[in-house]
Amino acid sequence: MHICLALFYICFVATPECSSLPTNKDMIRNTVNDIIHTAKTTLAHIKRLTTLLQMPPLINDTIDPIEGLTTIIHELGCLDNELQTDFTEHFTQIQVDVSSLEGRVRSLASTIGCTSPARPVRGHTTDRFQDSYLYLTLSKVQRYLENLIRNSSKLEVC
């Protein structure tokens, strides 16, 4: 009986962290960490795919700066659309990752009170130059996610 009381005291009186509910700030921090983790996982998937397909190193070109959640949602939506192709099944995991990222960023935006842009309309893709399309799309996703990780502070700005 004394052990139960001691444990109760330790958990609820001595350490308030045990009994406190997560704050909005904690939820935002956890969501941002989840987004960064998913971005890093997606980059690992891209690296594995480029190794599997024996592709040359991806292009490191400049990309538009990340301004905040609204532009991140829009860009992830555009990238998700580009990854939805009939060319190859190799895009599937990366497309799922990017779609998941977009959903998490939308959720974060609503938690913070930001407005989310409408989902970009998927354009028509041509079946010509499939290998080039695959290469350029992977390069674009890789560059954007690396930039997102570098600018993770923008995940808390509308």
Is the pLDDT assigned to residue 43 strictly greater than 80? yes
List the one residue out of 50, 144, 31, 61 whose CA is nearest residue 91. 50
Q: What does the alpha-carbon distance between residue 56 and residue 87 come to, in Å, rounded to a whole number? A: 19
- Does the pLDDT value for residue 27 go beyond 80? yes
User: pLDDT tens digit string along 61-98?
Assistant: 666 778 889 999 999 998 998 888 766 666 788 999 99
Average pLDDT over residues 137-145: 89
**Mean pLDDT across 106-131:** 77
pLDDT at 6 over 70: no
Per-residue confidence (pLDDT) for residue 10, from 0 to 100: 57
pLDDT at 132 over 80: no
Could you give the 3-state DSSP secondary structure of residue 54?
coil
Rg of the chain over CA atoms, in angstroms?
20
Contact between 103 and 73 under an 8 Å Cβ cutoff? The reply is: no
142: tokens are: 């890789």
Q: What is the DSSP string of 73-133?
A: HHHHHHHHHHH--SS-GGGHHHHHHHHHHHHHHHHHHHHHTPPPPPPPPPPP--STTHHHH
**Which of 18-32, 48-62, 140-154 has the largest mean confidence?**
140-154
- Does the domain at residues 25-155 carry the CATH identifier 3.40.50.300? no
pLDDT of residue 135: 78
Domain ranges of the chain: 25-155
How many CA atoms lie less than 13 Å away from 113 in the CB half-sphere?
2
Among the residue ranges 47-51, 100-104, 153-157, the one predicted with the least confidence is: 47-51
